Amino acid sequence: MTLPDLSPLWLTLQLAAVTAVVLLILGTPLAWWLSQTRSRVKPVVEAITALPLVLPPTVLGFYLLIIMSPRSPIGAFWVDVTGNTLTFSFTGLVIASALYSLPFTVQPLQAAFEGLGRAPFELAATLRAGALDRFFSITVPMAGRGFLTAAVLTFAHTVGEFGVVLMVGGNIPGQTKVISIAIYEQVETINYADAHVLSAIMLGFAFVVLLFVYTLNRRYPIRVG
């Protein structure tokens, strides 16, 4: 038995990792704002953030395809600046994945931030800690479990993505051909042997990652309180 081409697997891991990093950087301020604000637009922002949970991935993918196409202003601007199109590129996939997995970053973080309450921040403020200082010295360590959950869920959810990639990424080996697409392709061409191998790898990988995280979480519980 020969192994199938494993490059879709590496591409998937790369995409999931980059997406998780990008989303943690962008999603943290958003989650923080949502957890603290008393603004009237909060429900609006929350609803928009949660849209990817409800929308069929094809709908999200369709709109992204339109927005990122070289004929749209954003897509055209990207071509002007970089010389490449956003659609059917790795960068395009990262953008699409980030939108698709946004709620999986923002919601656990928001819940973790809200769970801390105001008390520790008020106390830190009376100890002369400014807002940014408070965020890094109190929020980040105290909401550690929330960050772990957000990172794992975002990573895992991106690994499992299919519809959005199919719409905006297509099936370019090494660029946009992630593992879910590769498996789909093998099944379509009735190459069940390779589909089996890739699927088994995914199953094992997903289980091992989650097992690792839950074991770590149990052995080194993050202390809060």
Which residues make up the interface to other proteins (CB under 8 A)? Answer: 119-120, 122-131, 133, 137-138, 141-142, 144, 222-225
Least separation, in Å, of the C-beta of 36 and other proteins? 13
Least separation, in Å, of the C-beta of 147 and other proteins? 13
Residue among 141 and 174 whose Cβ is closer to other proteins:
141
Burial of 83 (0-12, 13-18, 19+ CB in 10 A): exposed
* 111-135 exposure pattern, b = at least 16 Cβ within 10 A, e = fewer: ebbeebeeebbeebeeeebeeeebb
Residue among 201 and 224 whose Cβ is closer to other proteins:
224
- Widest distance between CA atoms in the chain: 67
Give the Cα separation of 201 and 129 in Å (integer).
48
Give the Cα separation of 177 and 190 in Å (integer).
18
Least separation, in Å, of the C-beta of 131 and other proteins? 8
Residue among 120 and 163 whose Cβ is closer to other proteins:
120
Judge whether 69 and 75 are in contact, CB under 8 Å. Answer: yes
Least separation, in Å, of the C-beta of 223 and other proteins? 6
Residue among 3 and 131 whose Cβ is closer to other proteins:
131
